[in-house]
Structure 1
């Protein structure tokens, strides 16, 4: 791989490249935070939510994290994902499925961390990924990554520019997340917790407020080898977010196949409920641009009777954490926490009067318009950031 700047292997720019400690996570305060791959989400760590480490102090000394360290996921779906450690809690350590890099004085840790987000880095990781199923990297293969290396002053200048661009992008993301939680707060303020029903609304089952409920086809009727590149969209669990349709990981079936499964047809405005995964119960509305679709197994379609309930109200109700707890008694199985459509149909929830629902929906739609604007802004900032990254490591910044 060619870079404009001279390059060095990562091993030449570090004092240590080592593995984390094998130990048990604990909810008990041992005084030692235990950073794992799963604690790194969206480029950040909420240290207050990171568990503690249950192991003798003598075993943990070599795994202690310092400001400026960079940790990498060494296996699984997130292989190669990295995180720059800033102001870790005293004595925090990292787990064995992470690799820790300690940058030397020859390289700025912020510059290095930004390079580990770039396409130049990911191309090298892809080539070095080992293993057939989930893949993985080890300390040796990571140490051989080629790093473009301008002067230290130039590294710091590049890192400062990328820090500012990244901060703007993250602010937009946080604003969108705040709006999502704001919608949940509006619901609770207007209607109270569905589990306790403080306003004594009439409770009705999902079956009684729906004109149609359908789970997706199971077994041989719809398998992954039925998917084609173009056709009718298949809605799967990964497309159902909390209050939002996630338009990625797309799958399609032919129109002919769709006709044979037409009873599972989903239309814009239908409520899509995920009944497996985390959270176990979550819902969104099929967007207007998705004219027709087919829901897969574990995705329940609900078409509400709008003389009784409005889709936005029902989606927000389902997404209240306490409703999942209400449904807990309906969850089947010991290892797979799935709620069947039949049992979901029987779940009774408080239904507010239509005029109150309409007031809530008006507020939600206003928040949604603001969120759409923020999403557009965030996408533009992300494109700008990606462009800056490309220019930075090709000597054009």
Structure 2
């Protein structure tokens, strides 16, 4: 076991496509999934300005907003965005199959964040990334680790497929009971979101710093705290100056939070809060939707998270690539929501809750496996 720098065992693959792009898959930053080591999405035949080449087996590292933890192995030759650093292993120094796990780990991402420059869209350069230091075992141990980690990654994907199948079942049940939420083929009564809500409460624009929240302190949530169906209470910035607070909007049990400003992928995301968070405040980019008695919050969440409604919300958002996308309060209030009777909503919610119990057990197993996976990387490649 010896300490090495990333630049000792890998190089930045610098190759430009000078001829025709026909036949090459196109990979943008949006195709890299946070904390997923395999590439599962790309474009083919689309118009683009990319010219950076990558080769099968290279690691594609998302150098913009490294905190998103995007890095994946290329399963083929292709062309990618300039916001992706293409990293190639030196086979005589490191097993190429092990390199992705060194790059796709929390310690390296923390290092990359610390070396990133820029305010709105921070980027890290290979010149800094190559100085990341870690422990590297001998080739025999590398082979053993790579086999173990890839086997664990395959098991993770099996759990993820089962979780995705559970989500699809919930969506199918929605269609069976209520039909397409946009076309409304069953002729349900409808309301605008303005009519269906008692209030839409906006948080406050607050300045905070990275750090661990201590007892007695307050923090403001980041927009990354809310994704579709998921809430991460650890995504926050600590408030050093509480005098800036003019109004405090806190997530409480039963609240439906709506991400009115986010990346293209997550703008319009909703999540139902399952406990009170008296120390966390909502930023101006997260809204709390408070519904009237005709609409149950869980039903509203499922409606707003439906793929067809997500398309509508995405079409409402304005923004440009590389920036936040925003949905205005005015546009959101005009969105129409179907209003089945309360008993039908309750019946559907009961189905969702039963599915969520199964999903919870799967997610728990996945979480434990992921923790073990990360511990093995930290102990052997830290």
Say which one has the larger Rg. 1
Match of 1:39 in 2: 31
How far apart, CA to CA, are the structure 1 residues paired with 2:2 and 2:218? 50
**Contact kept in structure 2, 1:20 and 1:95, CA below 8 Å:** no
Determine helix, strand or coil for the equivalent of 1:193.
Answer: coil
**Contact kept in structure 1, 2:32 and 2:39, CA below 8 Å:** yes
Match of 1:224 in 2: 207
How far apart, CA to CA, are the structure 2 residues paired with 1:298 and 1:122? 25
Equivalent positions of 1:183-194 (< 5 A) are: 183-194=170-181
Match of 2:231 in 1: 245
How far apart, CA to CA, are the structure 1 residues paired with 2:359 and 2:203? 30
Equivalent positions of 1:16-55 (< 5 A) are: 17-21=12-16, 30-41=22-33, 42-49=36-43, 52=46
How far apart, CA to CA, are the structure 2 residues paired with 1:333 and 1:167? 37
- Shift in alpha-carbon separation, 1:198–1:44, aligned structure 2, 3 A: same
Equivalent positions of 1:1-397 (< 5 A) are: 5-7=1-3, 13=9, 17-21=12-16, 30-41=22-33, 42-49=36-43, 52=46, 63-66=53-56, 68-77=57-66, 82-86=71-75, 88=76, 91-96=77-82, 97-118=84-105, 129=115, 131=117, 133=119, 134-138=122-126, 141=128, 148-217=135-204, 222-224=205-207, 230-231=216-217, 234-251=220-237, 261=247, 264=249, 266-277=251-262, 278=264, 279-290=266-277, 294-306=281-293, 308-326=294-312, 337-393=325-381
**Contact kept in structure 1, 2:63 and 2:124, CA below 8 Å:** yes
**Contact kept in structure 1, 2:179 and 2:186, CA below 8 Å:** yes
Distance apart, 1:81 and its partner CA? 5.4
Once structures 1 and 2 are overlaid, which stretch shifts more, 282-291 or 152-161?
Answer: 282-291
Determine helix, strand or coil for the equivalent of 1:109.
Answer: coil
Cα RMSD after superposing both structures: 4.1
Gaps of 5+ in 1: none
**Contact kept in structure 1, 2:25 and 2:43, CA below 8 Å:** no
How far apart, CA to CA, are the structure 1 residues paired with 2:118 and 2:105? 24
**Contact kept in structure 2, 1:7 and 1:148, CA below 8 Å:** yes
- What is the TM-score normalised by the length of structure 2? 0.78
**Contact kept in structure 1, 2:89 and 2:95, CA below 8 Å:** no
How far apart, CA to CA, are the structure 2 residues paired with 1:79 and 1:339? 22
**Contact kept in structure 1, 2:260 and 2:286, CA below 8 Å:** yes
Distance apart, 1:304 and its partner CA? 1.8
Distance apart, 1:121 and its partner CA? 5.0
**Contact kept in structure 1, 2:208 and 2:237, CA below 8 Å:** no
- Shift in alpha-carbon separation, 1:269–1:10, aligned structure 2, 3 A: closer
- Shift in alpha-carbon separation, 1:338–1:365, aligned structure 2, 3 A: same
CA deviations over 1:311-363 (Å, ceiling 9, x no partner): 11111111123334556786678997533334433432211121111111001
- Shift in alpha-carbon separation, 1:152–1:55, aligned structure 2, 3 A: same
How far apart, CA to CA, are the structure 1 residues paired with 2:269 and 2:171? 13
How far apart, CA to CA, are the structure 2 residues paired with 1:79 and 1:267? 26
